[in-house]
Structure formats: structure tokens, C-alpha cells
Amino acid sequence: MNSREKEFLATLRQTFKVEAEEHISAISNGLIKLEKNGNAAGSQELLETIFREAHSLKGAARAVNYDSVQTICQSLEDVLSEAKQGKLTIAKEACSAIHNTLDIIQGLIATGDAGREAEVEGAVAQLSAIKSALPTSETEVSNMIEDKIQKKSAIPSNSTIRVSTAKLDKLLQQIEEMLVIKIATGQRVNDLKFVHKTLDRLDKEQHEIEKEIYVLQQFLDGEDVSPELAALLHQLIALFEKQQHTTKELNDQLTKVGKLSAQDQRIVSTIVDTLLEDTKKMLMQPFATLFDLLPRMVRDLSESLGKDIDLTLEGEEIEVDRRILEEMKDPIIHLARNCIDHGIENSAARLSAGKPEKGAIRITAAQASGSNVSLTISDDGHGLDIEKIKAAAIKQNIHTSQDIESLSDKEAAMLMFHSGVSTSAIITELSGRGLGMGIVAEKVEKLGGKIAVDFIAGEGTTFTITLPLTLATFRGIHVIANGQDFIIPTHHMIRAIRMSTTDIYTLEGREAVSLDNKSISYQNLGALLGIPALKNQRDTLFVLFIKTAETTVALGVDAILNEQEVFVKGLGRQLAHIPNVTAATVMEWGKVIPILDPFDLVKTVVAGHAHPMAASPKATSEKQEKKSVLIVEDSVTARMLLKNILDSAGFAVTTAVDGMDAYNKLSDDASHFDLLLTDIEMPKMNGFELTEKVRKEEKFADLPIVICTSLGSKEDKERGIEVGANAYIEKSSFQQSNLLETIRKML
């Protein structure tokens, strides 16, 4: 194969990846529906759909020389063919095996199939095992139904074409640039109107002068004036009349040009708006593209937690900007996982509460008022534990305990969206870090949306998200800070007040202002952004109250100019990570103005108050002192890996080869450890026994204990909670960042 052929094949394989993802998603979702449907009516049609998708995937794999994928798909076709003929039933175990096979196919496509023959053989063996099982069904399907399925019309091949999303994004970006032209043409029309008004004013002044000239002419006609003076005055009058005529001509011409410019501006505006809307529609995708990710995730997670859960999806046809769907993928998955992990009880608890044994999650997309869409994620679990949320918020010092206790249940529920707030008894790969809900709220609000939560104790919880249908423009406040222009999104501003500088006071070493009898952290926006102050400072200033999630801060600015529609322009890779700045906009006169990031602003104000600019030498020394971690692991390889990770992260590390060795080192009066990281399966004393023994001693009551093990069953995690572990990390889903994040959170 020459270089051109290799390049062509690489291009084809990129296209194949997109197509394969669609086929795999369709097969996976079809399997979940089939598993849920059992042998009810419609199962044969589902089997036919899955079979066709598998066949199409096999054909596409053959076209790009993915022999391994083709081999697996052939075995999958054989299984589905026998199921169609009624020779076997695709039961739960078979569905699980096929899902595992799909995971292997995804891995082969993502990273290539070189050296992975064993995985391919394993996938084929799993599928062969399904075929070799005893027949469980001899149901015959009538020829009429089969014919009906076979005769379903296919989509004409020329009805759609595949276009790279990168190309569509570039097209949209170019059209969005035309918004600047639209705004500029509007400004030119306004400029012409201003000139027209100036000429009108000049015309009025000329009329006043004309009256004086009439008096002058009467004087010249009635008085004895020297011929030289009379000639000079007549020349001035003639010059004025000529000037007056020229002004009238200019005014008439300007009126004509103004009308034509206004007409051109309307045409440009209509064309740009139409182009933009049509291009946005091309980038609109149905929620189905996001919802397709959920059935498999819900099935696998509920199964791993020993729960039986039905997932209902509604409004898949509602369309929204693809960029919004991409940003909302992780938040929706997190909320669904939250419902499964925290919300819905296990079968025994549900039955004892008089509920159906099977839990329910419902996710609905719907058109909201105006240009918004709403998304609701609800479960029929036990609702929220408000007291636990309050306790977690107090522990994180979000507000004083007095303030938190005075909140209504609905207000207290919103505390869960603060970073660090978690009600989980133990940290696992699914929950307990208190970061997820904060990230969900931040993502939603960065998209210009809102999130709310409602619940009924014992009956369930509902999260409601409101999002814009499209991105590109938003309403923004144009402000001046230390002489510089900035835009702040209106969505995050709850109030703007003119204040005297004497209204700023110091509270516990922090600058603050009062809003509704509450003290709000304050900082001058210019100072926060590092802009030098102007020499002549005013005695009054404008204070903007900015709110993100449930945190409010106050920012002082020199002036508030206006609120306007703002066109968002990305900063590019080189400037993508400027603190407190998220994008830029181009004003109608061509000036580029930064758009500030409300989330960064709030974090900067809060962090600035929480951490003094200059720490004392003692504080600095204490901060630099290494935290000590005891690693307990019998495997030499795993022990060295964990030691290297923690050494590199700046921890002082001691190792132990088993639970007994660890207990002896903990008991040594000369030693001090800030955290214990232990495996479970070890000789002499396992991790559960070690944790339980350590917790019985008063001096270790507050010692953070993290279990890191290959055991991941629900029973093992419950045992970890029972013996007193603070976190439980599975080696199968081990990530260095998660381990370090968990340890730092504990310390």
C-alpha cells in the first residue's frame, strides 16, 4: 500500500469511527429495550433492527480493513439470526455478554487491533457460548410480520450527507463574524442621522441669520452708506445665500443617502440573521444524541449497586445547539448517576416503604417559553436529606451555622451545588468528593442556564434545568473599571447600586458592603484584575452584585454604560486561559472588549478573602511541611506505584507489607501519619481488620483512612463503611488524579 492509499484509508477510518459509534449505540439501546421487553410484542422487530445495525457495522468494518471487528460482528450476526428464528432467547445474561462484546469493539476501533487477538477470540467465545446454550424458545414468527419488517422502506441514500462538525463550526464562526458587520452598518446609519441632525441645527441657525440679513438689507436701502461698504455687505449676503443653498442641497442628499443606508442596513441585517439562524439549525441536534448514552449507563450502574431501575426518556426529538449538548453531557450523566447512587433505594428498602420493587428515573426534554428548553431529571427515591446537606455545608464553612439553620428546606437544598458539599458516608469512584453537583451548576450557568431542585421526602427528587436553544449572543452589562471597558453577563448580575466609598466597611479583616441587611464580600473590579487605579478617584462608585450558584459577591466599578446584546468571540488557543476572562466582543466602532467570567470573578473574590496576600513566616513553613502517608500493600508492584505517585505529589511516604506491619508502625510513638492508604486482601491482617482495629483506638479516631483495592462489590463497599473507612477506591477504575484529589480533600 503506497502513501496515498494509506492516507486515504486513514481518512476512511476516521469516517468509520463516527459511523461505528452510531451503530454501536443503536445496538446497545436496542438490547436494553429488548431486555426490558422480554418476549412481548415488538421483540421480533427489535431483533431485526439490532441485526441490521450489526450487519451494517460488519460491512463498514470490512470496507476499512478492520478484520477483527468484522469477525466479531459475524459472530454477533449468527447469534441474532438464531434469535430471529426463535432458536434462542436473548436473556439478561446474553445481553450482558453482547454489551461486553460491544465494549471490545469500541476499544479496537479507538486504539487499533494490533496485538489484541486474545480480546477478539474472547469476544467470539462469549458470543459462541450464547449460541451453544440450550434453546429456550421455539416461537415461530409469522411470515406476514417478517415480510412487514423486510419491506420497511430505507432512507434514500441521497437525503443526507456527512459533514465534519469542525467544518460546520468554522462556517458558523465566519457567519457570526458578520454580526459585527451588521452592528457596524447599524452604527453607520446612526452616524448619518447624527450628521443630519447637525445640518438641521445649522439650517435653523441660518434661518435666524436670514432674519438679521433682512434687517441689514433694509438698513442698506434706507441709509446713506458708502458704495464700498454697500458692495462688501452685498457680497456677504450673496455668499450667505449661496452657503444656505449648499446646506439645503447637502441636507437633501444626506436624507436620500440616509434612507438608502437604512434600507441597506435592513437588508444586511435580514441576510445575516437568516444565515445565522439557518446555520444554527444545521448545528441543532435532537436530545436523542445525548439520551442514547444513558440506557447502558443506567443499566450497568444500577446492576453494580444491586438496584432494579427503569429509565424513561421523553422529548428526544427536541433540538438544541450541538455545543450545548456537548457541554451538558457530563452534567446529565452525573445527575442520573446521583439519582441511582443517592436517590433510589434498594429493592428491600422500597418494599418496606410500600413502593414498587423497581425504581424509576424519568428524564424529559421540553420546549420552554421563548427561546429556551427545559430538562428535568427525576427519581422516585427517598428525596433529599436536608439535615445532612446542612451539616456538610457547615463543615465546608459555606455560611455560618446560624445562617444555614435559618434557611428553608428549598434554600438549603440548593447548598448541594456548592463545591465540597457531599452527604456520602464514604468517598468512592461514584460519589463523596462533593465536586460533581458544583460542576453541574457551573456548567449550566456558564451556558446561560439555571438549575433548581425540588423534592418530597420519601417520594423523590426532581432537578429542573433551563437552557437556551442556541449560543452566540447574550445580554451583557458594559462597565468601566479603572478606565478600562469590560462586559459582564447580565444573567449573573442580581443588582447594581450607586454607593459612596464610605459605605464600604471592614468585617473580620475583609472588605464588605451591605445588601438586604446582609454583609457581602466586596472588591474593586479594577484592583481584582490588576489594573492600576486612576489618579482622580471619585467619592461614589457603582457596585455590581454578582451571583453564581449560591455565592454572591460585590464588585466596584467606575461606571455602568448600558446593557446590550453581545456577540461572543472566542479568544483562541493562545489566550484561552486568561484568569477571569472567558471571551471577547467587538463593539460597533471596532473596539475589542473582554467578556469577564462571573465564576472566576466570584472564586477570585472568595479566595482573595480566604487567603491573605502575605502569610507569616510560621504559616508559610507549616504550609510547606509535608503530609505523611502510610501505604499498606502486599504487592510489590502496586506498593511501588502508589509510593511513586505520592512521592511525586509531595507527600512523605512510608510503606507496610501487610496489616500487622502497618499497625505496628502506626503504634510506634516515634511515628506520626496524617493518612492511611490500605489494600484489603493481605496476609496476617487484611485491610478491613486493620481499619477496624485502628478505629477502636481513640488516638486514631480522626485519622483519614482510604481503601484502594481490586474488590469492588456492593458488599465490600458497605463493609468498608462499617469498619470506618473514609474513602473506597477501586483499582479497576483507578486514576492517579482521583487518588490525589481524594487524599488532598481528606487532609
In this predicted structure, the answer to whether residue 144 has a pLDDT above a threshold of 50 is no
Mean pLDDT for 21-41 is 81
Distance CA 334, CA 502 (A): 46
Q: Per-residue confidence at 733, pLDDT binned at 50, 70, 90?
A: low
Contact of 365 with 315, CB cutoff 8 Å: yes
In this predicted structure, the answer to whether residue 570 has a pLDDT above a threshold of 70 is no
Q: Per-residue confidence at 41, pLDDT binned at 50, 70, 90?
A: low
What's the pLDDT tens digit per position in 521-544? 899 998 888 888 877 677 888 999
Q: Per-residue confidence at 149, pLDDT binned at 50, 70, 90?
A: very low
C-alpha cell at 692: 477496624
Burial of 81 (0-12, 13-18, 19+ CB in 10 A): middle
Task: Give 177-217 as a 3 state SS string.
Answer: HHHHHHHHHHHHHHHHHHHHHHHHHHHHHHHHHHHHHHHHH
CB atoms near residue 527 (< 10 Å): 15
Q: What is the pLDDT of residue 366?
A: 93
What's the pLDDT tens digit per position in 594-649? 889 888 888 888 876 433 323 333 443 444 578 899 999 988 767 877 888 888 88
CB atoms near residue 265 (< 10 Å): 19
Q: What is the pLDDT of residue 42?
A: 66
In this predicted structure, the answer to whether residue 120 has a pLDDT above a threshold of 80 is yes
Q: What is the pLDDT of residue 571?
A: 62
Closest of 353, 424, 412 to residue 387, by C-alpha:
412
Q: Which residue has the higher pLDDT, 729 or 398?
A: 729
Terminal Cα distance for the chain, rounded: 57
CB atoms near residue 14 (< 10 Å): 11
Most confident of 87-96, 177-186, 316-325, 358-367: 358-367
Among 44-48, 84-88, 215-219, 251-255, the least confident range: 215-219
Q: Which residue has the higher pLDDT, 423 or 329?
A: 329
Q: What is the pLDDT of residue 556?
A: 93
3-class secondary-structure state, position 397: coil
pLDDT averaged over the chain?
Answer: 80
Q: What is the pLDDT of residue 709?
A: 85
In this predicted structure, the answer to whether residue 435 has a pLDDT above a threshold of 70 is no
Distance CA 451, CA 431 (A): 20
Closest of 363, 529, 537, 369 to residue 461, by C-alpha:
363
For residue 191, give the amino acid letter: D
C-alpha cell at 642: 502508589
Q: What is the pLDDT of residue 148?
A: 35
Q: What is the pLDDT of residue 231?
A: 79
C-alpha cell at 78: 449468527
pTM of the model: 0.57
